[in-house]
Every structure is written in C-alpha cells, then in structure tokens.
C-alpha cells in the first residue's frame, strides 16, 4: 500500500515553519508594545524632517500631535475656528485592522469644520502630482476620510529586506513626499484664496427678519 505524503495549506505551513517568530510578533502587537515603539519612531521621524527639510519662512517646524506629524504655515492657511490646512504625515501600525491604513502616507489635511472644504478640495484635482502612489480622493463612502483629499502612500513593504528594514530609505521617501507638497505651496495658496473669495461672494441665508447668524455647533 502506497503512503500518501502529508501536506498542509501553504500559508499555514509558512506560519508553522516560523512559529517562534509568529508568536513573538503576535505578543508584541497584542500586548501594546508596538504602540510605544511607533511613538518613538514618529519622534525620530520628526527630528529627521526638522534636519532634512528646508522649511519655508512663516511655517511651523514639524511636530507630533494626535498620532500624526504636522507641518503648516503659522497663519495663512488658517480657516475659521481653530483649524488650518496642513501637511500631515501618518505612520500607522503595519498590522492595523483591515479597515484602517496599514501603510504610511503623506497627506494634505483640510478640516471638515471649514464650510468651504468641499469647494476647496474639488479644486485640488488639478495640482495632484501625476506620479506613482499619489492619490486624489473625494468622498468615497466608507473608504476615505474627506479631511485628507490628496496624498502619497509610502508602503512599508518596499523597504522590508530579507534581514532588515531600510529605515534611512523609508525616512527619505517620507521627506521626499513632504517636499513635493511643499513645492505646491504657491498653488495651494492660490486655490485657498480662490475658495475664500468664491465663498465670500455667495449670498448669506436669512431667516425672516433675523439679522444675527446662529453659531454652528462643532
């Protein structure tokens, strides 16, 4: 009687072959240690950006807040309220949930609290760099946050080698994408001022004889 060769599904076989490493990675992610290390990595990236970028006059230096790295002018991209248009760098957990980003990205941020957000983001299509991994998105249901209408993916896998991760190359790719957005400053200025001018020209809604406008809740 011939014996049959025992086989396993391919992916399971790979997991079992690397079972010690798989368990270590699982414990690292499930235990929350990765979140602390991500913050350390983001801080290192902030330092790299501060040293590597030619920050335009009138701009704040890169800083870390709310899990993102931010760059923006001190005043000129401010919108009514406390928000402002900004460059945002996101470095997420590479093992995030399926419905969350798993790769880094460099984005233009436009606050949803700004009543002219849609008008402004519609106008951005014309200036999105026509290069690989640059994307322009407008209100794709359940997929994209409209506060980040354009950006570039920096994919972890492209910097993962057989024995190490190319940190220098990864940081440089993010720096390059930020520089690409900085090069669009004049165009963004123009579109921002155009949106504000068009918004100012729109007639204001009135209700009966009421002359005071109600403050919108945020």
Question: Is 215 within the bounds of a domain?
Answer: no
Question: Is 41 within the bounds of a domain?
Answer: no
Token pair for residue 99? Answer: 């419905």
Is 170 within 8 Å of 103 (Cβ atoms)? no
Could you tell me whether strands 104-109 and 86-90 are parallel, antiparallel, or unpaired per DSSP bridges? antiparallel
Its domain, for residue 107, covers: 57-201
By CB atoms closer than 10 A (0-12, 13-18, 19+), residue 119 is middle
Total structural domains in the chain?
1
Q: 49-53, 114-118, 175-179, 188-192: which has the minimum mean pLDDT?
A: 114-118
The pLDDT, as a whole number, for residue 214 is 34
Please enumerate in sequence order all residues whose Cβ is within 8 A of that of 7, keeping only pairs 6 or more positions apart, or say none: none
Question: Is 13 within the bounds of a domain?
Answer: no
Number of other residues whose CB lies within 10 A of the CB of residue 126: 9
Q: Is the pLDDT of residue 215 over 50?
A: no
Three-state SS for 44? helix
CA 28 to each of CA 25, 41, 138, 159: distance values in angstroms, whole numbers, following the listed order: 5, 16, 36, 21
Question: Is 178 within the bounds of a domain?
Answer: yes
Which of 43, 45, 44 lies closest to 173, judged by CA? 45
Whole-prediction pTM: 0.83
Q: 13-27, 57-71, 72-86, 197-211: which has the minimum mean pLDDT?
A: 197-211
Among left, alpha and beta (phi > 0; psi -120 to 50; other), residue 10 is alpha
Query: On the CB side of 111, how many CA atoms lie within 13 Å of its CA?
Result: 15
Q: Is the pLDDT of residue 204 over 90?
A: no
């Amino acid at each position: 009687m011939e014996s049959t060769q025992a086989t396993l599904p391919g992916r399971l076989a790979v997991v079992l072959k690397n079972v010690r490493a798989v368990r270590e990675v699982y414990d690292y992610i499930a235990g929350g240690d990765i979140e602390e290390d991500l913050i350390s990595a983001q801080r290192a990236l902030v330092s790299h950006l501060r040293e590597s970028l030619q920050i335009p006059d009138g701009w704040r230096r890169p800083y870390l807040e709310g899990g993102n790295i931010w760059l923006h002018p001190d005043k000129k991209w401010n919108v009514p309220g406390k928000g402002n248009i900004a460059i945002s760098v996101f470095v997420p957990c590479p093992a995030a949930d399926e419905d969350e980003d798993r790769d880094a990205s460099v984005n233009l941020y436009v606050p949803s609290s700004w009543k002219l957000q849609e008008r402004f983001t519609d106008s951005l299509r014309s200036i999105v760099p026509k290069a690989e991994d640059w994307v322009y998105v407008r209100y794709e249901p359940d997929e994209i946050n409209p506060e980040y209408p354009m950006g570039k993916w920096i994919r972890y896998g492209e910097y993962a080698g057989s024995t190490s991760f190319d940190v220098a190359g990864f940081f440089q790719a993010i720096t390059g994408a930020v520089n690409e957005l900085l090069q669009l400053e004049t165009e963004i200025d123009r579109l921002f001022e155009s949106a504000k001018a068009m918004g100012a020209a729109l007639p204001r809604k009135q209700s009966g004889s009421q002359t005071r406008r109600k403050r919108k809740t945020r």
